[in-house]
């Protein structure tokens, strides 16, 4: 063994490159979550529903304050609720309902028939909604898919125009990778295609914070598209640009019987008027 002089330091011999890589990978494996955990963090495509991002981005405060104007209670449901107890909801005063029909061009709600027809059978005025995924296919393509899978309209006085659910992306970037002008063009593409197929302008469901961020607070849809505002608070708050009033307000995700409850901004005859067009 060599003798060290006072004050000298023995430097460790460098690891071969292969050994160094092995050590680095071993250290990373101690801190990085396994692949299965990373995959579990992302929701499955098709699982989105109305208000999926409202609690995370807008929070919750207070009970709804309806004032003196007449309002009509409603609900919205999706595959998350499974078979819905429609007689219970009817007996509690709910008079209208929307059911998720589709998402993108890859998902249809397996409970759609029980939910859509069940609400109608107990006497409710019903409609269907589409969860938009602007990063997958065009607005016109998704409008056609929606109409072909339950999102149509008929002049029977009991069927509401279809609703476009356009909000936070649960699968990635909030604005689906689109600029504000691109998002406005995508929504217009959906709206025009839906109207061409059904003769009706669709309802637009959104939240003001998302709309401001992802469309630049565009006001051009207010003239024709009824607004369904999402805000879990004591009032609907500031509306997106252009709209002077809301038609519907989703005010909670924790209502009785099923999660999402809504107020129609008017008495039952106004709900019927929207159904008749």
Q: Identify the active-site residue in 76, 103, 260, 262.
A: 76
Average pLDDT value for the chain: 86
Dist. CA 264–CA 103, nearest whole Å: 24
Please report, for residues 42, 64, 65, 66, 202, the alpha-carbon distance to residue 234 in angstroms, rounded to integers and kept in the order given: 31, 4, 5, 8, 26
Active site residue 76: yes
Per-residue pLDDT tens digits for 175-227: 999 999 999 999 999 999 999 999 999 999 999 999 999 999 999 999 999 99
β-strands 107-108, 163-165 pairing: unpaired
The fraction of the chain above a pLDDT of 70, given in percent, is 78
pLDDT at 124 over 70: yes
Given the residues 58, 167, 260, 262, select the one marked as catalytic.
167
What is the pTM (predicted TM-score) of this model? 0.81
Tokens of 206: 């959104």
Identify the residue whose tokens are 């640009």.
241
| Of 58, 103, 165, 262, catalytic | 165
Residues 94, 212: Cα–Cα separation, whole Å? 31
pLDDT tens-digit readout, 166-177: 999 999 999 999
As its CATH architecture, domain 54-276 has Alpha-Beta Barrel (3.20)
Q: What is the pLDDT of residue 69?
A: 75
Query: Within a 10 A sphere around the Cβ of 32, how many other Cβ atoms?
Result: 11
Q: Are 117 and 158 in contact (CB under 8 A)?
A: no
167 is catalytic: yes
Phi-psi category of residue 260: left, alpha or beta, with phi > 0 → left and psi -120 to 50 → alpha: beta
Average pLDDT, stretch 21-38?
44
Q: Is the model's pLDDT at 32 over the cut of 90?
A: no
């Amino acid at each position: 063994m060599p003798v060290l002089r006072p004050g000298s330091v023995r430097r460790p011999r460098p690891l071969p490159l292969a050994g160094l890589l092995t050590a680095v990978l071993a250290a990373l494996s101690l801190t990085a979550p396994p692949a299965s955990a990373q995959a579990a963090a992302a929701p499955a495509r098709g699982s989105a529903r109305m208000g999926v991002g409202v609690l995370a981005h807008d929070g919750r405060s207070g009970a709804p304050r309806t004032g003196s104007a007449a309002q009509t209670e409603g609900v919205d449901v999706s595959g998350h609720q499974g078979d819905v107890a429609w007689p219970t909801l009817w007996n509690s005063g709910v008079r209208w309902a929307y059911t998720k029909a589709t998402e993108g061009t890859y998902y249809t709600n397996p409970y759609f028939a029980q939910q859509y027809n069940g609400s109608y059978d107990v006497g409710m005025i019903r409609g269907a909604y589409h969860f938009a995924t602007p990063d997958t296919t065009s607005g016109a393509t998704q409008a056609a898919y929606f109409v072909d899978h339950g999102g149509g309209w008929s002049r029977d006085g009991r069927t509401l125009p279809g609703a476009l659910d356009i909000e936070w992306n649960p699968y990635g970037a909030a604005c689906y990778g689109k600029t504000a002008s691109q998002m406005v063009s995508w929504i217009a593409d959906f709206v025009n295609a839906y109207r061409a197929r059904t003769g009706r302008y669709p309802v637009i469901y959104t939240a003001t914070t998302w709309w401001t961020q992802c469309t630049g607070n565009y006001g051009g849809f207010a003239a024709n598209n009824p607004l369904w505002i999402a805000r879990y608070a004591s009032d609907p708050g500031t509306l997106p640009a252009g709209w002077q009033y809301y038609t519907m307000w989703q005010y909670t995700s924790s209502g009785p019987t099923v999660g999402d409850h809504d107020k129609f901004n008017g008495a039952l005859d106004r709900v019927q008027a929207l159904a008749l067009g």
